[in-house]
Amino acid sequence: MRSKPDVPTSLVEDWGTSALLDCTLRDGGYYTAWDFDESTVEAYLMAVSQLPLDIIELGYCSPRRAGYFGEYFYLTPKRTAWAKARLAPTQRLAVMVEEKAVNVANIDAVLSGQAESVEIVRIAAAPEKLENAVDLVGAIKELGYEVSVNVMYLSQYWDRVATLRGLKQIRELADTVSLVDSYGSCTPDQVGFAVSAAVEESPGKVVGFHGHDNLGFAVANSLRAAQNGAGVVDGTLAGMGRGPGNARTEILLVQRASSGPRALEYVALQRGLEPFERLQSKYRWGTNLAYMISGASGLPQNRVMDWLGKNRYSVSSILEALHGDHIDNVDGQVFETLSDTSSTSSEVVIVGGGPTVAEHLHAISDYVAATGAVVIHANYRHLSAIARFDGVQYLCVAGDVTARLPGPDEMSRVRALLVPEGPRFRGATPTGDVAAVRQVAPFQLEVGTGSLGPVPDTGPLALALGAALALGATSISLVGFDGYENANAAQQDLSRETQSMIDGFTAQHPDLAVTSATRTSYAIPTVSVYGRLAELGRLGER
Q: What is the pLDDT of residue 497?
A: 84
Q: What is the pLDDT of residue 425?
A: 67
The tens digit of pLDDT for each residue in 260-305 reads 666 789 999 999 999 999 999 888 888 776 677 667 766 666 666 6
Residue 82: which pLDDT band, with cuts at 50, 70 and 90?
A: very high
Q: What is the pLDDT of residue 17?
A: 72
Q: What is the pLDDT of residue 428?
A: 62
Closest residue by Cα to residue 229 from 14, 451, 541, 468: 14
The whole-chain average pLDDT of the chain stands at 86
Can you tell me the distance from the alpha carbon of 476 to that of 327, in angstroms, rounded to the nearest whole number?
37
Of the candidate ranges 18-32, 150-164, 428-442, 505-519, the one whose mean pLDDT is the lowest: 428-442
Can you tell me the distance from the alpha carbon of 518 to that of 526, in angstroms, rounded to the nearest whole number?
7
Higher pLDDT, 537 or 193: 193
The tens digit of pLDDT for each residue in 441-486 reads 989 886 556 666 666 777 889 899 999 999 999 999 999 999 887 6
Contacts 24+ apart (CB under 8 A), 254-258: 255/10, 255/11, 255/12, 255/219, 255/223, 256/12, 256/15, 256/20, 256/52, 257/52, 258/10
Q: What are phi and psi of 386, to 5 degrees?
A: -55, -40
* 41 pLDDT above the threshold of 90: yes
H/E stretch holding 14 reads: none
* Count of CB atoms situated within 10 Å of the CB of 332: 10
Can you tell me the distance from the alpha carbon of 449 to that of 276, in angstroms, rounded to the nearest whole number?
36
Torsion of CA 235, 301, 457, 67, to 10 degrees: 50
Closest residue by Cα to residue 297 from 316, 314, 319, 326: 319
Adjacency order of strands within the sheet including 437-440? 437-440, 416-420, 393-396, 374-377, 347-351, 475-479, 513-516
Closest residue by Cα to residue 429 from 470, 452, 398: 398
Can you tell me the distance from the alpha carbon of 102 to that of 12, in angstroms, rounded to the nearest whole number?
38
Q: What are phi and psi of 341, to 5 degrees?
A: -95, 15
Q: What is the pLDDT of residue 9?
A: 44
* 14 pLDDT above the threshold of 60: no
Q: What is the pLDDT of residue 300?
A: 62
* 142 pLDDT above the threshold of 90: yes
Can you tell me the distance from the alpha carbon of 409 to that of 415, in angstroms, rounded to the nearest whole number?
13
* 539 pLDDT above the threshold of 60: no
* 325 pLDDT above the threshold of 50: no
Handedness of CA 414, 416, 418, 424 (dihedral sign): positive
* 378 pLDDT above the threshold of 70: yes
Q: What is the pLDDT of residue 398?
A: 78
- Spell out the SS3 assignment of 503-519: HHHHHHCCCCEEEECCC
Residue 306 has, within 13 A of its CA and on its CB side, a CA count of 12
CB 57 within 8 A of CB 26: yes
Can you tell me the distance from the alpha carbon of 440 to that of 419, in angstroms, rounded to the nearest whole number?
6
Q: What is the pLDDT of residue 11?
A: 47
Centroid of chain to Cα 505: 28
Residues near 5 by Cβ (< 8 Å), separated by ≥ 6? none
The tens digit of pLDDT for each residue in 23-40 reads 999 999 999 989 999 999
Residue 4: which pLDDT band, with cuts at 50, 70 and 90?
A: very low
Q: What is the pLDDT of residue 311?
A: 67
The tens digit of pLDDT for each residue in 95-133 reads 999 999 999 999 999 999 999 999 999 999 999 999 989
CATH for 19-297, among 3.20.20.70, 3.30.470.30, 3.90.1150.10, 3.40.47.10? 3.20.20.70
User: Above pLDDT 90, what percent of the chain?
Assistant: 57
User: Per mean pLDDT, which of 83-87, 415-419, 457-461 is the most reliable?
Assistant: 83-87
Continuous H helices in 202-342: 218-227, 249-259, 266-283, 289-297, 301-310, 315-323
Name the pTM for this structure: 0.66
DSSP structure string for 107-176: HHHHTTTGGGT--EEEEEE-GGGHHHHHHHHHHHHHTT-EEEEEE--GGGTTT-GGG-TTHHHHHHH-SE
Residue 339: which pLDDT band, with cuts at 50, 70 and 90?
A: confident
